[in-house]
Structure 1
Amino acid sequence: MSAPFIRLIEKKDNPQIAKVIRSVLIDFNVPKVGTAYADAALDCMFETYQKPKAAYFVVEANNKIIGGAGIAQLDNYEGNVCELQKMYFLTEARGTGLGAQMMEFCLAKAREFEYEKIYLETMEYMTHAQKLYKQSGFEYIAGALGDTGHYSCPVHMVKHL
């Protein structure tokens, strides 16, 4: 049994990370419309993050992808702000500290890319995720920044980098 580790996404990871994200969204009864579930990018995550100032990381354990998260420029927003995107973990990865480790990877990359703020959207009942975000320095804001297309996600948070 090998210890889980975090690395940049590779093309071969596309089917596994798509399955992980859809599985987690189904587990949490997230609407299939207006959330990450409907994103065309889910089936081509590697390609989606092959652009400037973007990165996606996966958690691998025993040759299996068990989670992931990434950052990229916030869509439809004027300003030097990135978005924490598609941070999802299978049940076996939750509560293990991997979320906090992943957050550090994403924040470090956001700082490396010289973003001023990092923004995220989530569901109100994803309380464990919100606890991690608050511990990482995110604060709640009144409404959405930019337009991610995730109109079914009512919780918005931001962190100054």
Structure 2
Amino acid sequence: MKKYYQDFVVRHWEERDRTSATNIIRSVLADYGLNWEPNGADRDVVQVEECYVAVGGEFWVIEHQNQVVGTAAYYPIKRGEKAVEIRKMYLLPKARGFGLGKYLLQQLEAAIISRGFQEIWIETASVLVEAVRLYENNGYEKASGVETARCDRVYVKKLTVTT
């Protein structure tokens, strides 16, 4: 899978992307005063094969001029009805302000719908103001039941699946 948005390339994660992906997520978290948790909330980035690929999820990287500048992912979860959780949607500052976040969210939703899922859950932190705005402006409803320690918000979106 390769998708193009302006001069960004969105593609499936490859093993060679592990260091770039972890560095991006660590950097963005630090920008917002949040901790990188390789043995906790961020274990899935260290173990993409086990946490995404093996369970039917997807992990994408976003490139600009052959450099990884962002990540986006989802995997099936047990809460909700035929549900997934969108995770690890992070963009370096130089990749922001182009509408890329909204594009990624739409592409994730399209992939999730095409696989027959009916709900999308997202956990985030209030300090990630741009992310909160993105989710709230794209049909995600506040929910309860935050499961990740550094997060204080959870959202859900019920999908309309056409057959």
TM over 0.5: yes
- Shorter-chain TM-score: what band? 0.7 to 0.9
The answer to whether the 8 Å contact 1:14/1:46 transfers is no
Q: Determine if the alignment matches structure 1 residue 18 to structure 2 residue 22.
A: yes
Residues 1:62 and 1:44: Cα distance change in structure 2 (over 3 Å): farther
150, 154, 158: which one pairs with 1:160?
Answer: 158
Letter in 1 for 2:43: A
Query: How many residues align structurally?
Result: 154
> After superposition, where does 1:36-55 map in structure 2 within 5 Å?
38-55=41-58
Q: Provide the C-alpha distance between the structure 2 equivalents of 1:62 and 1:94, rounded to a whole number of angstroms.
A: 15
Q: Provide the C-alpha distance between the structure 2 equivalents of 1:32 and 1:154, rounded to a whole number of angstroms.
A: 16
> After superposition, where does 1:1-161 map in structure 2 within 5 Å?
3-32=7-36, 38-74=41-77, 76-77=78-79, 79-144=81-146, 147=147, 150-161=148-159
Structure 2: runs of 5 or more not aligned: 1-5
Question: What TM-score do the two structures reach when normalised by structure 1?
Answer: 0.85
Q: Provide the C-alpha distance between the structure 1 equivalents of 2:26 and 2:74, rounded to a whole number of angstroms.
A: 19
Q: 1:66-88, CA deviations, whole angstroms, 9 ceiling, x for partnerless residues?
A: 001111012x5364110001111
SS at match of 1:142: coil
The answer to whether the 8 Å contact 2:123/2:152 transfers is yes
SS at match of 1:137: coil
Residues 1:37 and 1:67: Cα distance change in structure 2 (over 3 Å): farther
User: How far did 1:141 drift?
Assistant: 1.3
Identity, % of aligned positions: 28
Structure 1: runs of 5 or more not aligned: none
**Whose relative contact order is higher, 1 or 2, with alpha carbons under 8 Å and at least 6 apart?**
1
Question: What TM-score do the two structures reach when normalised by structure 2?
Answer: 0.84
